[in-house]
Structure 1
Amino acid sequence: MTHIKVIIPAYNEALSIGKVVADIPLDLVQEIIVVDNNSTDNTGRVAASAGATVIPEPRQGYGQACLTGIQYARQQSPPPEVIVFMDGDYSDYPEEISLLLQPILTQGADMVIGSRALGVRERGSMTAPQVFGNWLATTLLRHLYHANFTDLGPFRAITTKALVQLNMQDRDYGWTVEMQVKAAKHNLKSVEVPVTYRKRIGVSKVSGTVKGVIMAGYKILWTIGKYYFKK
């Protein structure tokens, strides 16, 4: 049986994190890791009550939380063969983890991105800047790296072997695009599958603020350019 862990970076997601953890199919996943990224609410307590392993990470940043979760997961015995990443806001459908795992388990894929662009999105689940930003970033990835992605969606699965090879570094907004850029540069077998997307619970820390949109957009474009000129 393939050993699979889920990592969920979470900051002030007390209203949603319990629902996310409860909907994850335990017949596929051996451990659910919630990285409590210095929340000021009861995110950690709610996640633990729902059955997740909670790892505190006071250094804020989406990428930092993911890196902390990876470090913990790889220290376990046995370490995971596949890691699934997803958000804690209940915008993704946790039961669709099986869709992400199938190409890895049956087709030898190294990484699978859950594409909201290819799937069904609830009206209002993504803002106009998010849709445009995804289009711009994936267009640049296609032209600069010959990588045929349609989304930078956070719902994704990757083999631990491939993840170690990528040597992820970004500690905030550039995490998802760094993974996809490096996957292209390392010629990993990457696949996209359509996923369903709904309105998140609560207000987004990124798309919900002007500052968040600007900072995220800048970091994503900067990351794409950084690795292109680093040939």
Structure 2
Amino acid sequence: MKEILVIIPAYNEANSIGKVISEIPDLVTEIIVVNNNSTDNTAAVATAAGATVLFEGQMGYGYACLKGINYASKRSKTPDIIVFMDGDYSDFPEDLHKVIAPILSGDADFVIGARQKALREQGSMTPQQVFGNWLATSLMKLLFRASFTDLGPFRAIRFEQLKALEMEDKTYGWTVEMQLKAVKRKIAYTEVPVRYKKRIGISKVSGTIKGSIFAGIKILGWIFKYSIK
């Protein structure tokens, strides 16, 4: 049996995190919720649902992911696959089977759950998200010949490959950093289509003008940083 860990960064997701955890397939060894300085009872709900809860006081998606990776690195049994997903219930946790399938079959080491339009609930992605994904993936195709169509947060990667990426972004650039490094380091990657629905609560990134602007700056910054290397 493969050791499969799920890492879920969570900031004020008390209304959704229990639903996410309850629908994650049983083949997952451990669910790690990184409580990113929440002011609600996210941690208590996640604990009651059976997750391992870590606390990360530094605000930022990347900070939370790095906390989870550090925990995974120190387990007595090394994980084989790490799956990342959001805690807002916008993903369909049961689609995890599809996301890890190319890794289990040996066809890829890194898989993005691509939120294709035909599988998205209407209104589940804001116009700025749709445009941002298109711009970022178009630039990656132009500059790096990458075949990504999405920067989706629902993703899986072999743990050894994840460690080799030496991830460093602490905030909004986490997803694009991972994809750029995978391309540059010639890690075998692919996408699988996944369903996507309206999240519970308001997005901390796309739900605010400030969040959208900073996310856009960070994403484009990573792309242009790698284009001149």
Q: What RMSD over aligned residues (CA atoms) do the two structures have, in Å? A: 0.8
User: For the structure 1 residues 190 and 119, does the alpha-carbon distance in structure 2 shift closer, same or farther, using more than 3 Å as the test?
Assistant: farther
Corresponding residue for residue 83 of structure 2: 84
1: CA distance, partners of 2:46 / 2:80: 23
Deviations 1:70-92 (A, max 9, x none): 00011112011100000000000
Contact 1:83 1:157 in 2 (8 A): yes
Q: Which runs of 4+ in 1 moved over 2 A?
A: none
* TM-score, with length taken from structure 1: 0.98
Secondary structure of the 2:71 match is helix
Corresponding residue for residue 202 of structure 2: 203
Contact 1:103 1:112 in 2 (8 A): yes
**Identity score, percent:** 62
Structure 1 alignment gaps of length 5 or more: none
Corresponding residue for residue 184 of structure 2: 185
Which range moved further: 215-224 or 112-121? 112-121
Letter in 2 for 1:212: G
Count, aligned residues = 229
Corresponding residue for residue 111 of structure 2: 112
Deviations 1:157-191 (A, max 9, x none): 00011101110000000000000000000011001
Matches within 5 A, 1:42-53: 42-53=41-52
2: CA distance, partners of 1:210 / 1:167: 30
1:12 and 2:12 matched:
yes
Contact 1:118 1:150 in 2 (8 A): no
Contact 2:172 2:219 in 1 (8 A): yes
2: CA distance, partners of 1:107 / 1:165: 18
Corresponding residue for residue 139 of structure 2: 140
Instruction: Using the TM superposition, give the Cα deviation of residue 107 of structure 1 relative to its aligned residue in structure 2, in angstroms.
Output: 2.9
2: CA distance, partners of 1:105 / 1:42: 35
Which range moved further: 113-122 or 11-20? 113-122
Instruction: Using the TM superposition, give the Cα deviation of residue 119 of structure 1 relative to its aligned residue in structure 2, in angstroms.
Output: 5.3
Letter in 2 for 1:107: G
* TM-score, with length taken from structure 2: 0.98
Secondary structure of the 1:92 match is coil
Structure 2 alignment gaps of length 5 or more: none
Secondary structure of the 1:48 match is helix
Corresponding residue for residue 64 of structure 1: 63
1: CA distance, partners of 2:170 / 2:74: 20
2: CA distance, partners of 1:6 / 1:221: 27
Secondary structure of the 1:107 match is coil
Secondary structure of the 2:89 match is coil
Letter in 2 for 1:149: F
